[in-house]
């Protein structure tokens, strides 16, 4: 009678690969909650595909998962159906690597791979701030750079790089990322002026019906989101640093590579 229980509680395993840590947890797909405690392993200093694949296997093996449970990996680079297009903050030998094939070999499981900002957007749309919202939903993470995820009726439009729009002669993230606020020691009001220019440009191009703002700074949302004057509601993300794992797991369950 096992399968009936599993149908009631579908689980997928989500992994979020970052420059400093690789984090993973099984996700209850009915709720978006972790089905077990998250585990973190430091990213290997020489973060080659082989070294990272070893960590993925160690992470997955440290949980007692039935063999059919799929794995979703959120990865810090644009992906072309699972193939890494270029890489900034891991070892340069990642370029051109088929991540699902590599990770599947390492873990012995079906693996789906997705860009980390896209994974966070899917997490927020399925289980977080944008839950149940159809239409055009834009998730933007404000951090060292600006990451973006665009969803239309719950379907991801993969690999958008809306942090790199050129606005007023500048790469947008060089002026509006959270790192720019810190670097230039901007007040919340001054930074909000830059965000206003950024978001009104994105609105002009895409007319989103809802904008979700993530990144560590989103916990201070009351200091800057109310200063923005946009057509769409703009709201803080709710899953915070769980979003990548949860979104990757949700995409693994639907079995798509982006």
Could you give the angle at the alpha carbon of 56 between the alpha carbons of 63 and 4, nearest 5°?
A: 40
57 and 77 share one domain? yes
- On whether residue 12 sits in a domain, the answer given is yes
110 and 42 share one domain? yes
Range of the domain at 220: 132-238
Strands 11-17 and 21-28 come out as antiparallel
pLDDT at 121: 98
13 and 33 share one domain? yes
pLDDT at 255: 79
3-class DSSP assignment, residue 105: helix
217: DSSP letter: G
137 and 83 share one domain? no
Q: CA nearest 150: which of 171, 172, 133, 173?
A: 133
**39 vs 31: CA distance, rounded Å:** 19
**13 vs 28: CA distance, rounded Å:** 9
Model pTM score: 0.93
63 and 109 share one domain? yes
pLDDT at 171: 98
Q: In angstroms, how far is CA 216 from the centroid of its own chain?
A: 13
204 and 246 share one domain? no
56 and 151 share one domain? no
Number of domains the chain contains: 2
Query: Do 118 and 161 contact (CB within 8 A), yes or no?
Result: no
Helix (H) or strand (E) holding 194: helix 188-206
112 and 36 share one domain? yes
- On whether residue 158 sits in a domain, the answer given is yes
3-class DSSP assignment, residue 251: helix
pLDDT at 48: 98
Beta strands in the chain (DSSP E): 11-17, 21-28, 33-34, 39-42, 71-75, 79-80, 83-84, 111-115, 136-142, 146-152, 155-157, 166-167, 170-171, 210-214, 234-236
Bridge partners for 74 per DSSP: 16, 114
CATH number of the domain to which 220 belongs: 3.30.420.40
**244 vs 43: CA distance, rounded Å:** 16
- On whether residue 124 sits in a domain, the answer given is no
6 and 113 share one domain? yes
81 and 163 share one domain? no
- Cβ neighbourhood burial of 34 (10 Å; 0-12, 13-18, 19+): middle
Other CB atoms within 10 A of residue 200 CB: 15
pLDDT at 165: 98
97 and 154 share one domain? no
Residues (pLDDT < 50) of the chain are 1-8
59 and 151 share one domain? no
3-class DSSP assignment, residue 176: helix
């Amino acid at each position: 009678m096992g399968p009936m229980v599993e149908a009631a509680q579908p689980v997928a395993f989500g992994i979020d690969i970052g420059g400093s840590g690789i984090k993973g947890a099984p996700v209850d797909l009915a709720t978006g909650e972790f089905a077990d405690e998250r585990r973190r392993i430091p990213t290997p200093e020489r973060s080659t595909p082989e070294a990272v694949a070893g960590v993925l296997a160690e992470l997955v093996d440290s949980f007692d998962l039935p063999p059919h449970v799929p794995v979703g990996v959120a990865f810090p680079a644009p992906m072309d159906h699972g193939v890494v297009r270029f890489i900034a903050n891991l070892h340069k030998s990642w370029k051109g690597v088929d991540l699902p094939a590599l990770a599947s070999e390492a873990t012995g499981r079906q693996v789906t791979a997705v860009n980390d900002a896209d994974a966070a957007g899917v997490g927020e749309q399925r289980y977080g701030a944008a839950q149940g919202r159809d239409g055009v939903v834009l998730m933007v993470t404000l951090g060292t750079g600006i990451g973006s995820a665009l969803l239309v009726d719950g379907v991801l439009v993969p690999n958008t790089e809306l942090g790199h729009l050129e606005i007023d002669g500048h790469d947008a993230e060089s002026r509006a990322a959270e790192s720019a606020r810190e670097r230039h020691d901007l007040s919340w009001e001054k930074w909000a002026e830059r965000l206003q220019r950024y978001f009104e440009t994105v609105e002009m191009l895409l007319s989103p019906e809802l904008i979700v703002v993530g990144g560590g700074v989103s916990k201070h949302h009351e200091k800057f989101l109310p200063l923005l004057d946009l057509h769409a509601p703009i709201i803080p993300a709710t899953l915070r640093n769980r979003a990548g794992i949860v979104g990757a797991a949700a995409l693994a369950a639907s079995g798509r590579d982006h």
